A and B are shown apart, each in its own frame.
Chain A
Amino acid sequence: MKELHLNKREEYMNLSLEIIKVKSPISEFWRKFKKQKLALFSFFFILFLIVLSIIGPYIVPYGTTEPDYKNILSGPSVKHWAGTDAYGRDIFSRIIAGTQISLFVGLVSVLLGAVGGTILGIISGYYGKWVDRVIMRICDVLLAFPGILLAIGIIAILGPGLGNVVIAVAIFSIPIFARIVRSSTLSVKSTLYVEATKSVGAKHKRIIWKHIFPGTVSSIIVYFTMRIGTAILTAASLSFLGLGAQPPSPEWGAMLSGGRDYLNTAPHVTFFPGMAIFVTVLAFNLLGDGLRDALDPKIEE
């Protein structure tokens, strides 16, 4: 009997030898992601921006508040690559230095929003019942406001300043993440493998950390990337309105605001910061799109 059993096992092992290469989900993801040239390009561009935001302030030709009174509102030239503004400050240097601010605001605010939203979304989706109803109704209320209006309202309470912009953007990111995470929590929760884990006797904590959260990560990553674009845009808008970064700061939105009066005579003062915002937001959105396609198991090439 025992021997017979062993023979069968051997026979089975031979059958199963055909699968050889181990493909981990990460290598699988990278294989799919590589194929999306635009997203890949955006990814490297964002990496470049991150590097620039760290070393940028040290390599720029001029200081961010250093005036050049001989060249006020002068157009792009060899001396000032992107021209100068109303105080004769070098716009190119200011944009490079401003990368730090925009990326910081974008990353930190969305990170806070994602953490808060993920926690709420998982609690809401996993425990359901009245907890779910309460959390989702609050999110509905928050989502009923246009994002920028909500942010203005929050800043009206907290007062202007870059720190408060981060908080404002984080708060209006929370309900969006909560909704997305809740829906993927619901779909993971109803899978057979979660039921199997329950039948083994696992505690809620383990089910959430080992199964539910990893199951929601891909949608969080995709949305995280896309939200950074929006967050940078919102932060720039708030600064443009004078609610975020204050004038001497080289924040892109504040620079736009500063060049507003010279749109006809010196368009380059608004053009270059505007391009910086546009290109950065576009890169994050394209990366988000690419990540979504690479992380979605249903999209096969």
Chain B
Amino acid sequence: MNPSLLEVQNIKKYFPLKKKLFSRQQEYVKAVDGVSFQVQKGETLSLVGESGCGKSTTGRVLMKLLDATEGKVFFEGNDITNLNDDEIRPLRREFQMVFQDPYASLNPRLKIRDIIEEPLIVHNVEKKKRTERVNELLEIVGLNRYHADRYPHEFSGGQRQRIGIARALAVNPKLIIADEPVSALDVSIQSQILNLLKDLQDEFNLTYIFIAHDLSVVEHISDRVGVMYLGRLVELASRDSLFANPFHPYTKALLSAVPIADPTIKRDRIILKGDIPSPANPPTGCTFHTRCPFAQQVCKEIVPEFREIKPEHYVACHFAEELSVTK
């Protein structure tokens, strides 16, 4: 088998907390605590979870905007974890990022042309080709070439996100990490942007890592879905398998929370109690046991293995099989 486009092996990202006076132990916020997955060329892998579960941090570690505390990231079979700024620069053409907030991700002092041109300048594309490419990109993302000489504040959120996408596409990347690209947009604009992303994927054979918290968005765009909870993946499966047949109680709770646009349908919602525990002091054993309705003694003591319960369907729960029967 070909090496996957991206392979992530057990990455961890700990942020040190400020030491308290007289305390000898350095404490850490375990934002990402051992995440592994592979991404194949041309697919869309979504990472979902509630806020603070480490999905954005994972994205930033993959982008090398943050250095992983532990673990390895392979891009097309090459280890990129320990490359320094100069060594990673040529590789950055291959993976780009689309950010969550299109209002903050574009420099308000630069014209759209300069913003989209920036990756081209950084990667030494000559001037004449750059101008052509900017015009081309604007049309690819559904804007017009006369937009190039305007400033970001003249555009709506959806248009700005298109500009962000154009910037990410500028250097013909293979992988795009989209960090909640639609969550800051109106629902009516969300679908436009999602469809644009899908069309671009078909046109340019892109691979996406799609970070989101909205499951209906994820269902629309993904091939595979990974569910994160407190810095760990708890379930990873193909979209169909995950949505039809979730094993992990957390995934079940998430899915039951997706609204259905039909008031006559009654269903049982699984309501989770309590808040997400602090990643500075995560629970022992299975991190979900404090909120899991099915928690047993063993959950408090032993960290569940991330195992393949069905072909290509991974889950980290001691009782996955039993729970799937009770459903």
- Contacting A201 at CB < 8 Å: which of B105, B123, B151, B202? B123
Interface residue tally of chain B, by bracket?
Answer: 35 or more
Could you tell me if A202 and B122 are in contact, using CB atoms closer than 8 angstroms?
Answer: yes
> A24 to chain B: which residues have CB within 8 Å?
151
CA distance A22 to B202 in the complex (A): 34
Q: Which chain B residues in 148-178 approach chain A with CB under 8 Å? A: 149-151, 154-155, 159, 164, 167, 171
Q: Which residue of chain A has its CB nearest to the CB of B91?
A: A201
Could you tell me if B65 and A200 are in contact, using CB atoms closer than 8 angstroms?
Answer: no
- Scoring A residues 188 to 225 as 1 if CB is less than 8 Å from chain B, else 0, what string do you get? 00011101111111110010001100110000000000
Could you tell me if B143 and A16 are in contact, using CB atoms closer than 8 angstroms?
Answer: yes
Does any Cβ of B come within 8 Å of A31's Cβ?
Answer: no
Could you tell me if B96 and A23 are in contact, using CB atoms closer than 8 angstroms?
Answer: no
> B267 to chain A: which residues have CB within 8 Å?
none
Does any Cβ of A come within 8 Å of B67's Cβ?
Answer: no
Could you tell me if A201 and B147 are in contact, using CB atoms closer than 8 angstroms?
Answer: no
Closest chain-B Cβ to A295's Cβ sits at a distance in Å of 12
Name which of A6-14, A42-50, A99-107, A248-256 contacts chain B. A6-14
Does any Cβ of B come within 8 Å of A298's Cβ?
Answer: no
> A210 to chain B: which residues have CB within 8 Å?
107, 110, 118
Could you tell me if A200 and B92 are in contact, using CB atoms closer than 8 angstroms?
Answer: yes
Closest chain-A Cβ to B174's Cβ sits at a distance in Å of 15
Closest chain-A Cβ to B230's Cβ sits at a distance in Å of 24
Could you tell me if A199 and B92 are in contact, using CB atoms closer than 8 angstroms?
Answer: yes
> B150 to chain A: which residues have CB within 8 Å?
19, 22
Q: A8-B142, A23-B151 are in contact. Are A192 and B122 (CB under 8 A)?
A: no
CA distance A211 to B154 in the complex (A): 19
Closest chain-A Cβ to B71's Cβ sits at a distance in Å of 20
Could you tell me if A214 and B97 are in contact, using CB atoms closer than 8 angstroms?
Answer: no
Max chain A C-beta neighbours (<10 A), residue from B63, B96, B105, B143: B105
- Contacting A16 at CB < 8 Å: which of B104, B105, B159? B159
Closest chain-B Cβ to A90's Cβ sits at a distance in Å of 50
Does any Cβ of A come within 8 Å of B106's Cβ?
Answer: yes
Could you tell me if A198 and B106 are in contact, using CB atoms closer than 8 angstroms?
Answer: no
- Contacting B101 at CB < 8 Å: which of A1, A12, A19, A192? A192
Does any Cβ of A come within 8 Å of B18's Cβ?
Answer: no
Does any Cβ of B come within 8 Å of A146's Cβ?
Answer: no
CA distance A133 to B104 in the complex (A): 29
Could you tell me if A12 and B142 are in contact, using CB atoms closer than 8 angstroms?
Answer: yes
Q: Which residue of chain B has its CB nearest to the CB of A191?
A: B104
- Contacting B109 at CB < 8 Å: which of A9, A13, A25? A25
Q: Which chain B residues in 72-120 approach chain A with CB under 8 Å? A: 85, 88-90, 92-93, 96-97, 99-101, 104-110, 118-119
Q: A1-B202, A9-B139, A19-B154 are in contact. Are A196 and B167 (CB under 8 A)?
A: yes
Does any Cβ of B come within 8 Å of A5's Cβ?
Answer: yes
Could you tell me if A202 and B154 are in contact, using CB atoms closer than 8 angstroms?
Answer: no
Could you tell me if A199 and B109 are in contact, using CB atoms closer than 8 angstroms?
Answer: no
CA distance A215 to B85 in the complex (A): 24
- Scoring A residues 172 to 194 as 1 if CB is less than 8 Å from chain B, else 0, what string do you get? 00000000000000000001110
Could you tell me if B142 and A200 are in contact, using CB atoms closer than 8 angstroms?
Answer: no
Max chain B C-beta neighbours (<10 A), residue from A9, A25, A192, A215: A192
Could you tell me if A201 and B122 are in contact, using CB atoms closer than 8 angstroms?
Answer: yes
> A202 to chain B: which residues have CB within 8 Å?
118, 122
Does any Cβ of A come within 8 Å of B183's Cβ?
Answer: no
Could you tell me if B151 and A25 are in contact, using CB atoms closer than 8 angstroms?
Answer: yes
Chain B contacts to A: CB under 8 angstroms: 63, 65, 85, 88-90, 92-93, 96-97, 99-101, 104-110, 118-119, 121-123, 139, 142-144, 147, 149-151, 154-155, 159, 164, 167, 171, 192, 195, 199, 202
Apart from A5-B199, A193-B106, A201-B123, 19 more pairs, CB < 8 Å: A8-B142, A8-B195, A16-B143, A22-B150, A22-B154, A23-B151, A191-B107, A192-B104, A193-B105, A196-B164, A196-B167, A198-B65, A199-B92, A199-B96, A200-B96, A201-B92, A203-B89, A206-B121, A215-B109
Instruction: List the 3 shortest-distance A-B pairs measured between CB atoms, nearest first.
Output: A201-B92, A192-B104, A200-B119
List 17 A–B pairs whose Cβ atoms lie within 8 Å, in order of A's numbering: A13-B143, A16-B159, A22-B149, A25-B108, A192-B99, A193-B107, A196-B97, A197-B107, A199-B63, A199-B96, A200-B122, A200-B171, A202-B122, A203-B89, A210-B110, A211-B107, A215-B109
